[in-house]
Amino acid sequence: MQSFVYNALPGRVIFGTGTISTLKAEIERAGCKRALLLSTPEQAPALKDIAASIGPLAAGIFSQAAMHTPTDVTERALQAAKDCGADCTVAFGGGSSTGLGKAIALRTDLPQIAIPTTYAGSEMTPIIGETEGGKKITQRTLKVLPEIVIYDVDFTLTLPPRLTVTSGTNAIAHAVEALYAQDRNPVISMMAEQAIAAMGRALPAIVTNPQDREARAEALYGAWLCGVCLGSVGMALHHKLCHVVGGSFNLPHADTHTVILPYAMAYNAKAAPEADQAVARALGGRNGTQALVDLAKKLDSPNSLKSIGMAESDIDRAADLAVQNPYWNPRPIERGPIRDLIANAWAGNIKNYA
């Protein structure tokens, strides 16, 4: 067996159905008395219900979280935290809400409680990506890792099928990349394969019946594992491309991960054969790339950057940005092949590319 280093991340997880009922006790357990509740505008009504359920522990509400964590939104949230005297934050929603909680923690060290309603997985990572001036900058620090995460299956039942698919595929991408990351290890690789398999079973079942509680629970469990994988090892080509394309051109976060995933897998397949085999085992395919393509077809996922809003004229700029300060990757990052990857992903040419 290869030598490796495994760093376990701290954190408390409450998983199940109806677990939102523990929020008041968890805030108190953390030694906090004045929580600032965070969400996107779309989730504001649910956030108000949560605020009512914890009474005076809800010191304020900020429901303007936005995709890619823009720094101007963070500044407004910081002022809201100051105005209400918050001693912790409660982020309710997907990656946008969790990202805002992380951005506040980065600047204030306020404890965080995350209540995920999608399969983004960022609640389990010490990673934050922020956008300013059209660029997305990512950093890793334990300051942004939420101390408490409450997974409540009930909140995922209303997640629309399409968003379920892209959010779940985004989660799969975290686990896939953990299989070929520079600091991968047997513990995380085992977890990653199980996570991919769980999502691969759950997502088709949810598309067939969005109210399937068992499938929803398995998907949320898989997303949790995928998030742990991303948080425990480094990132590589897939996340670099998604940060560049999504952050620079303001494309939907989960959709971008969904489109890029098989192309990044194909790019790295020969350089990371064990990862390719693990993905194939988890999803029941002849190779990792084909298994991901087959799952995407089954789920009717978005399959091109063009279809999610990227202009063809942006391909060259995206390639230039992707080779600047590249993340470690098992295959060298070279502009020609990377431009080819992005161009094929823009057109949806996975059949010809892989």
In tens digits, what is the pLDDT along the chain, a chain of 354 residues? 678 888 888 999 999 999 999 999 999 999 999 999 999 999 999 999 999 999 999 999 999 999 999 999 999 999 999 999 999 999 999 999 999 999 999 999 999 999 999 998 999 999 999 999 878 888 999 999 999 999 999 999 999 999 999 999 999 999 999 999 999 999 999 999 999 999 999 999 999 999 999 999 999 999 999 999 999 998 999 999 998 998 889 899 899 999 999 999 999 999 999 999 999 999 999 999 999 999 999 999 999 999 999 999 999 999 999 999 889 999 999 999 999 999 999 999 998 887
Residue 234, exposed/middle/buried by CB under 10 A (0-12, 13-18, 19+)?
A: middle
Give the Å distances, CA to CA, from 89 to 39, 252, 297. 11, 25, 39
| Identity at 326, one-letter amino acid code | P
Distance in angstroms (rounded) separating the CA atoms of residues 303 and 77 = 35
pLDDT at 354: 79
pTM of the predicted model, to two decimals?
0.92
pLDDT at 8: 85
pLDDT at 4: 85
Pairing, β 127-132 against β 135-140: antiparallel
pLDDT at 133: 85
**The token pair that represents 298 in the structure block:** 């089954």
Distance in angstroms (rounded) separating the CA atoms of residues 305 and 262 = 13
226 φ, ψ (degrees, to nearest 5): -60, -40
For 141, the 3-state DSSP assignment is coil
**In the CATH hierarchy, which fold is given to the domain comprising 12-156?**
Rossmann fold (3.40.50)
Cβ(290)–Cβ(351) below 8 Å: no
pLDDT at 325: 86
Question: Which position has the token pair 């040419």?
Answer: 349
Distance in angstroms (rounded) separating the CA atoms of residues 203 and 195 = 12
For 252, the 3-state DSSP assignment is coil
For 7, the 3-state DSSP assignment is coil
SS3 content of the chain, % helix, strand, coil (to 5): 60, 10, 30
The architecture of the domain spanning 161-353 is Up-down Bundle (1.20)
H-helix or E-strand spanning residue 182: none
**In the chain, where are the structural domains located?**
12-156, 161-353
**The token pair that represents 324 in the structure block:** 């600047």
Cβ(93)–Cβ(39) below 8 Å: yes
